[in-house]
């Protein structure tokens, strides 16, 4: 499993000056929120503050402060040194016709050269954020499981693909964690509060076992199972009569995952629809948990 913290460390390890570009304040409609940031080196960037002319202006200023400006000679990148004394600068940018953007708001951007202390702060913050990412467990590494893992791999989630068959974990994107276990339901019991569970194994009986375990978790943000309305009805009968489940618990089940508004059963399409559904549920659960705590 690759880590966003690992990617950040690698970028900060680049040779040459690096600048931190951070959204320090916003008014009205803006592309990103306060605290959003990106890193700028002479030849590359990491992250985004929203794109467009705002970002281009910030990148240019960051590279001026770094003492370098990239250009091209004969199709090959070249770097020119310039004199620079600034270690910190602020841009106050109106997002209107003046810069060719029509958001209508205003963004204050803070730009700082990254030293060892600031780099350590960024890594520590990224580690803390990663530690508290919502968990999404995908049970099943078949065609839909692989497609779903790929679809959610760029989202701010800790994704775990759980399989009973070692060969099905081959080809899973490296951006997610994989677990091989003979008892996948144990992963449900061990999951942190607020997790989402997507059940799509090769075996309906195994699907039922995992889904039943997940529905008993009142703190789950989402429980979804792949299948048809017939499968859902069969599961309901089994869940209520054999698994000691309740009607209230069953009502929390999302099945089929991704809904049935789009009549397309290709794995990447199911994955895209399901990813949106799951992310929405996770965000709503986190907002509700925050409101309840307050």
Pick the CATH number of 133-293 from 3.40.50.720, 3.40.50.2020, 3.30.365.10, 3.30.2290.10: 3.40.50.720
pLDDT value of position 179: 97
Domain ranges within the chain, ordered by starting residue: 4-130, 133-293
Phi, psi of 85 (to 5 degrees): -110, -15
Segments of the chain scoring below 50 in pLDDT: 71-84
Q: Token digits for 26?
A: 């916003």
What whole-number distance in Å separates Cα of residue 26 and Cα of residue 35?
10
pTM of the model as a whole? 0.85
pLDDT value of position 69: 56
pLDDT value of position 276: 96
What whole-number distance in Å separates Cα of residue 178 and Cα of residue 158?
11
pLDDT value of position 86: 66
pLDDT value of position 294: 67
pLDDT value of position 52: 87
pLDDT value of position 136: 98
**With contact defined as beta carbons under 8 Å apart, do 120 and 98 qualify?**
no
């Amino acid at each position: 499993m690759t880590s966003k913290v690992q990617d950040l460390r690698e970028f900060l390890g680049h040779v040459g000056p690096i600048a931190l570009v951070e959204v320090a304040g916003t008014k009205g409609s803006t592309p990103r929120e306060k605290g959003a940031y990106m890193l700028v080196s002479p030849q590359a960037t990491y992250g985004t503050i929203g794109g467009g002319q705002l970002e281009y202006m910030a990148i240019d200023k960051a590279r001026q402060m770094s003492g370098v400006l990239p250009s091209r000679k004969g199709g090959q990148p070249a770097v020119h040194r310039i004199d620079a004394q600034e270690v910190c600068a602020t841009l106050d940018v109106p997002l209107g016709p003046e810069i060719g953007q029509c958001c209508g708001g205003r963004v204050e951007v803070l730009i700082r050269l990254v030293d060892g202390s600031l780099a350590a702060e960024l890594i520590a913050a990224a580690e803390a954020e990663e530690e508290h990412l919502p968990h999404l467990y995908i049970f099943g590494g078949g065609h839909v499981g692989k497609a779903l893992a790929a679809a959610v791999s760029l989202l701010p989630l800790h994704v775990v693909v759980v399989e009973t068959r070692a060969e099905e974990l081959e080809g899973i994107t490296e951006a997610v964690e994989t677990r091989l276990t003979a008892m996948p339901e144990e992963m449900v019991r061990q999951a942190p509060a607020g997790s989402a569970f997507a059940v799509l194994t090769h075996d309906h009986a195994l699907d039922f076992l995992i889904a039943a375990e997940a529905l008993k978790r009142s703190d789950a943000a989402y429980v979804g199972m792949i299948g048809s309305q017939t499968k859902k009805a069969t599961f309901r009968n089994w869940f209520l009569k054999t698994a000691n489940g309740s009607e209230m618990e069953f009502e929390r089940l999302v099945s089929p995952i991704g809904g049935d508004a789009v009549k397309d059963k290709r794995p990447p399409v199911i994955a895209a629809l399901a990813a949106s559904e799951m992310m929405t549920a996770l965000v709503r659960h986190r907002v509700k948990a925050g409101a309840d705590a307050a």
